[in-house]
Amino acid sequence: MSYKNYPMVSRVVFGRGSFNQLNEILAPKRLSSKAPFIFLVDDVFKGKSWLTSRIPLSYDDKLHYISAEEEPKTSQVDELVEQIILTHKERPSGIIGIGGGTILDLAKAVSIMLTNDGEAKDYQGWDLVKNPAIYHVGIPTISGTGAEVSRTTVLTGPEKKLGINSDYTPFDQVILDPELTKNVPKEQWFYTGMDCYIHCIESLNGTYLNAFSQTYGEKAYELCLDLFLNNNLPKEVAQDKLMMASWHGGMSIAYSQVGVAHAMSYGLSYLLGTKHGIGNCIVFDHLEEFYPEGVKIFKQMKDKHNIQLPQGLCADLGDREFDIMIDVALSLEPLWENAIGKNWQKTITREKLKELYLKM
């Protein structure tokens, strides 16, 4: 047995207002006046000076507003990289992503593709990246995905939705400032928060579970119960705790795997563009047979926060469309092996998946 030698985020700041330290964190990393810092910022913050006025721009630094309407694509990464190379005289000093999982994943992927030849789609998979990425910093503004700690950047390519999983993917620096999450709309707060909850359920109930994953997963799970079922948490405490739940949930799956909800949600996302958080919720709502206790509590959380999930997403799909979703879901073998065990193919048939998708 050979154990995975796992890279982690090398530096992290936590605290309300820690975003103010961005300049002092970046300044020593500037390579030259011609080597800019490139800021990729969720365009939800356009015109929000309480945040943008604190982004330190000097010399040739550049801020790109990016829409998180759609999840990141390999082609989008390639375009950004080309634009950066054509615009600037020198390779950037660093890439800074400010936003949710969508923007964080873009920042990771751009920093990798600036030092590796070819196209982003060539690197979707495990350990295909050859050269270290450019210095990259992640600043989450919504909590739950764990993208701030993970070793992957999930991209939709021409053939598949799959991460660039590599030792060079994790951020060199993360700034966890819970204040940045203050204006997240309630529905989105729930969907992205549930991503964290589902990470815990899938990790803690998986066959890959080990003490490393379990200790992180149990802490994140406990935080999620408190956050989504308890009435009495002051707002700021809740923001702080959800940020740490996301971190721990991400650490938990790092050393194990996710499971059925993620595998099936990737199918929905690939075919219909359903976003990760809401997609996971739509799928998880129908997974009682795999995660009875987890789904029961999920439904309580959903009721408590008055969340109505879309229904009938797959009602009008044809055979070809089901085939595409089922192919994507089944290709994620480690997720099924974690969820069901080595003999997962005996029970997870195409018919079984179609039957489940038809409920959604």
- Pick what 259 binds: ligand NAD, Zn ion, none; C-beta below 5 to 8 Å, kind-dependent: none
CB of residue 141 to ligand NAD, shortest distance in Å:
4
**Residues 150-169 contacting ligand NAD, CB under 6 A:** 150, 152-154
- Pick what 314 binds: ligand NAD, Zn ion, none; C-beta below 5 to 8 Å, kind-dependent: none
127: left (phi over 0), alpha (psi -120 to 50) or beta: left
Tell me the C-alpha to C-alpha distance, in Å, between residue 25 and each of 18, 55, 176: 10, 12, 13
Part of the chain binding ligand NAD (CB under 6 A), chosen from 29-37, 93-101, 207-215, 350-358? 93-101
Select the residue interacting with ligand NAD from 276, 295, 336, 357 (CB under 6 A): 276
Query: Is residue 178 at the binding interface for ligand NAD, with CB under 6 A as the rule?
Result: no
Taking residues 49 to 68 in sequence order and writing x for each that binds ligand NAD by CB under 6 A, - otherwise, the string is -------------------x
Select the residue interacting with ligand NAD from 36, 100, 178, 193 (CB under 6 A): 100
Query: Is residue 71 at the binding interface for Zn ion, with CB under 5 A as the rule?
Result: no
Query: Is residue 195 at the binding interface for Zn ion, with CB under 5 A as the rule?
Result: yes
In the bound state with ligand NAD, the residue whose beta carbon lies nearer, of 241 and 276, is: 276
Q: What is the rounded distance in angstroms from the CA atom of residue 8 to the CA atom of residue 232?
A: 34
Query: Is residue 42 at the binding interface for ligand NAD, with CB under 6 A as the rule?
Result: yes
Nearest residue (beta carbon) to Zn ion: 195
Using CB under 6 A, list all residues that contact ligand NAD: 42, 44, 68, 71-72, 99-103, 105, 141-142, 144-147, 150, 152-154, 180-181, 183-184, 188, 192, 195, 275-277
